[in-house]
Amino acid sequence: PWAKTAVDTLFEKGIIKGRENNMFCPSDIITREEFLKMIIESLTVYSAILNNLTDFNLIKRFLLHKLTQ
């Protein structure tokens, strides 16, 4: 299917889990709850990656500066 690579990657990272019986339905409309869960799980994975960077504080200061301009 057209979304197989994306679904596999998101599943491996724990961002999505699928519906019943680990079945994925990429053509289905997702619920608000499913969407928010994906956002929260994505931010959790992203945060874990950032925390392992040696220059994380520098990146954080740069991003905060850009967000407050």
Find out whether 56 and 50 touch, Cβ atoms under 8 Å: yes
Sign of the CA dihedral with 23 first, then 2, 28, and 17 last: positive
Distance CA 62, CA 69 (A): 11
Res. 44: pLDDT tops 80: no
The length of the chain in residues reads: 69
pLDDT for 2-20, tens place per residue? 778 888 888 888 888 877 7
**Residue in the block written with tokens 């925390």:** 51
Residue 6's pLDDT is 83
